[in-house]
Amino acid sequence: MAVYKLIGPITQLITLDKLPLKGALKDESLSSIAQAGILIKDEHIERVDTYETLKATTTTLQPELIELDGDYVAVPGFVDSHTHICFGGSRANDYAMRNAGKTYLEIAKAGGGIWDTVTQTRKASQETLTQNTIARANRHLASGVTTIEVKSGYGLSVDEELKMLRAIKDATPQVEADLIPTCLAAHILPKDFDGDHAAYLAEISEKVFPILKEENLANRIDAFIEEEAFSNEVVTPYFEKAQEMGFDITVHADQFSTSGSEVAVKFNAVSADHLEASTEKEIALLAHSDIVSTALPGASIGLGCAFTPARQILDAGGAVAIASDWNPGSAPMGDLLMQAAILGTFQKLSNAELLAGITYRAAYTLKLDDRGRLAQGYLADFNLFPTHHVNEIFYHQGKLTPQQVWKNGKRVQ
């Protein structure tokens, strides 16, 4: 028997219903319902309307009434489509050295950089990595993030990458948020691998890919395309093998130099992430594709570099998602709402564009079409902010947090 719940009255409910995947959005495009209610049937939204209308027309369903006192704004649950929250150790020393003017090479020679995290993650047990992932996912959930992508990439060997992905899988049933795993074994060439970049990727594709399918560890393959990581040429057979086996492709692209976005388009990737170095050429290429460009403001803040040209991509007709890139090195903050607000300030993004970027547009990059909007048939994932108007959310730049977080029709925070 279906279980119904009716929540309200909600001062302002932002549906995001029927907004497009691509292109610029004006705040006037936001569809809202005043003094609204949300009728939930099990895990999904059955209907949104005014609270009084829903109360009057659903008596035969005998919904559980959850009456709110005070002002609330309802928005869809946030989707963070790019994180690295499964890791061991800390890179606080890197952060201090970087801010003191040390270069990437100087930090690496001093024992820092990605390899430092690889070393600490390899030392951690699978159970420790599971618990680390749970703790970070729960912190994200408390701030309204109900769906979280989680990458591997700090194991960098067959056994260690599988350990990470198994830890993510173990964490999944222990958290209320949905965790979406991604294999990022193509992060950098491991120092201890006896061979070149091509040989390493061949080993991963031959030995890891089949186990990902067999154990249902991930259906997404990512690669860092950069001079210090993997070139277009060497990653091509790797992505070809991934596509042959039915994996979705996503790309760390154009972070420090351009080329990754071209690979993303070539393989019809679901997203191209970073793009801080993208020029007009890459912007046009992405905007004329169905690829979502994912801005990672946390990395720009952590590294002190330019932001993704989100304004230009949107104005060119492209789709832009916003993700936290939560990782121990370049983006340790892990606050999606704060990062989105800051990106909006520097890129002059409307609140509609910011909301779309952390809800339905981000969900699209994960091939999830059942969340990110407050409308009939969507998952009942939503946040209730203790305020009277949606503009207050980004105005407070992450300091106004949800008072209630709902996931799959259940209050979880």
Note the pLDDT of residue 386: 98
Backbone angles phi, psi at 308, to 5 degrees: -55, 135
Average pLDDT value for residue range 45-50:
98
Note the pLDDT of residue 145: 98
Q: Of 47, 58, 48, which Cα lies nearest the Cα of 14?
A: 48
**Can you tell me the distance from the alpha carbon of 65 to that of 260, in angstroms, rounded to the nearest whole number?**
51
**Can you tell me the distance from the alpha carbon of 322 to that of 310, in angstroms, rounded to the nearest whole number?**
9
**Can you tell me the distance from the alpha carbon of 109 to that of 102, in angstroms, rounded to the nearest whole number?**
11
Are the C-beta atoms of residues 117 and 404 closer than 8 Å to each other?
A: no
**Can you tell me the distance from the alpha carbon of 222 to that of 383, in angstroms, rounded to the nearest whole number?**
30
Note the pLDDT of residue 329: 95
Note the pLDDT of residue 391: 98
CA atoms within a 13 Å half-sphere pointing along the CA-CB vector of 63: 25
Are the C-beta atoms of residues 359 and 16 closer than 8 Å to each other?
A: yes
Average pLDDT value for residue range 347-354:
98
For helices 158-171 and 126-142, the axis angle rounded to 10 degrees is 50
Peptide bond into 9 cis (omega under 30): yes
Backbone angles phi, psi at 148, to 5 degrees: -135, 120
Residue 404 has pLDDT above 90, yes or no: yes
* Predicted confidence (pLDDT) per residue in 150-196, tens digit: 999 999 999 999 999 999 999 999 999 999 999 999 999 999 999 99
Residue 105 has pLDDT above 80, yes or no: no
CB atoms within 10 A of CB 373: 26
Residue 334 has pLDDT above 80, yes or no: yes
Average pLDDT value for residue range 17-27:
97
Radius of gyration, alpha carbons of the chain: 21
Backbone angles phi, psi at 56, to 5 degrees: -75, -25
Domains in the chain with CATH codes: 4-76+372-411 (2.30.40.10), 79-365 (3.20.20.140)
Read off the tokens for 303. Answer: 């590294």
Note the pLDDT of residue 227: 87
Identify the band that residue 1 occupies on the pLDDT scale cut at 50, 70 and 90. Answer: confident
Question: Which residue type, as a one-letter code, is found at position 399?
Answer: K
First-last CA distance in the chain? 26
Average pLDDT along the chain: 97
Are the C-beta atoms of residues 5 and 43 closer than 8 Å to each other?
A: no
Identify the band that residue 362 occupies on the pLDDT scale cut at 50, 70 and 90. Answer: very high
Note the pLDDT of residue 103: 85
Average pLDDT value for residue range 222-226:
97
Note the pLDDT of residue 111: 87
Note the pLDDT of residue 357: 98
Residue 245 has pLDDT above 80, yes or no: yes
Residues 130, 181, 252, 246: what is their CA dihedral angle, to the nearest 10 degrees? 150
HEC sequence for the chain: CCCEEEEEEEEEEECCCCCCCCCCCCHHHCCEEEEEEEEEECCEEEEEEEHHHHHHHCHHHCCEEEECCCCCEEEECEEECCCCCCCCCCCHHHHHHHHCCCCHHHHHHCCCCHHHHHHHHHHCCHHHHHHHHHHHHHHHHHCCEEEEEEECCCCCCHHHHHHHHHHHHHHHHHCCCEEEEEEEEECCCCCCCCCCHHHHHHHHHHHCHHHHHHCCCCCEEEEEECCCCECHHHHHHHHHHHHHCCCEEEEEECCCCCCHHHHHHHCCCCEEEECCCCCHHHHHHHHCCCCEEEECHHHHHHHCCCCCCHHHHHHCCCEEEECCCCCCCCCCCCCHHHHHHHHHHHHCCCHHHHHHHCCHHHHHHCCCCCCCCCCCCCECCEEEECCCCCHHHHHCCCCCCCCEEEECCEECC
Residue 90 has pLDDT above 90, yes or no: yes
Read off the tokens for 172. Answer: 């999944």
Note the Cα 173 to chain centre separation in Å: 19
Share of the chain above pLDDT 90, in %: 97
Average pLDDT value for residue range 272-296:
98
Residue 142 has pLDDT above 90, yes or no: yes
Residue 351 has pLDDT above 90, yes or no: yes
The backbone region for 181, taken as left when phi is positive above 0, alpha when psi lies in -120 to 50, beta otherwise, is: beta
Average pLDDT value for residue range 257-276:
97
Note the pLDDT of residue 143: 98
* Predicted confidence (pLDDT) per residue in 285-315, tens digit: 999 999 999 999 999 999 999 999 999 999 9
Strand pairing of 64-67 and 78-80?
A: unpaired
Share of the chain above pLDDT 70, in %: 100
**Can you tell me the distance from the alpha carbon of 86 to that of 172, in angstroms, rounded to the nearest whole number?**
12
